[in-house]
Amino acid sequence: MAKANLDLIFYLNGLKPVPIDTRFVLLVKKYSCKFVFENKLKMNCPCCSGKTYEECCKPYHTGEKHAPTAEALMRSRFSAFAIPNGEYLMETTLPGKRKLHNKKDLQEWGEINEWTKLEIVQTPALNHVEFKAYYTDQDGNSQVHHEFSVFQKMHDRWYYVSGEFLD
Q: Which of residues 94-113 bind Zn ion (CB under 5 A)?
A: none
Q: Is 73 exposed, middle or buried (0-12, 13-18, 19+ CB in 10 A)?
A: buried
To which H or E segment does residue 163 belong? strand 157-165
133 lies in the binding site for Zn ion (CB under 5 A): no
Identity of the residue, 53 or 159, whose beta carbon is nearer to Zn ion in the bound complex: 53
Do 41 and 5 meet the contact criterion of CB atoms below 8 Å apart? no
Q: Which of 12, 43, 45, 70 binds Zn ion (CB under 5 A)?
A: 45
Identity of the residue, 11 or 99, whose beta carbon is nearer to Zn ion in the bound complex: 11
- Give the binding-site size for Zn ion (rule: CB under 5 A): 7
Alpha helices in 13-102 (DSSP H): 58-62, 70-82, 86-91
Q: Which of 49, 93, 107, 113 binds Zn ion (CB under 5 A)?
A: 49
In the complex, least distance from residue 100 CB atom to Zn ion, rounded to whole angstroms: 25
Distance in angstroms (rounded) separating the CA atoms of residues 5 and 43: 15
Q: Which of residues 56-85 bind Zn ion (CB under 5 A)?
A: 56-57, 75, 79
Bridge partners of 132, per DSSP, are 119, 146
In the complex, least distance from residue 108 CB atom to Zn ion, rounded to whole angstroms: 22
Contact residues for Zn ion, defined by CB under 5 A: 45, 47, 49, 56-57, 75, 79
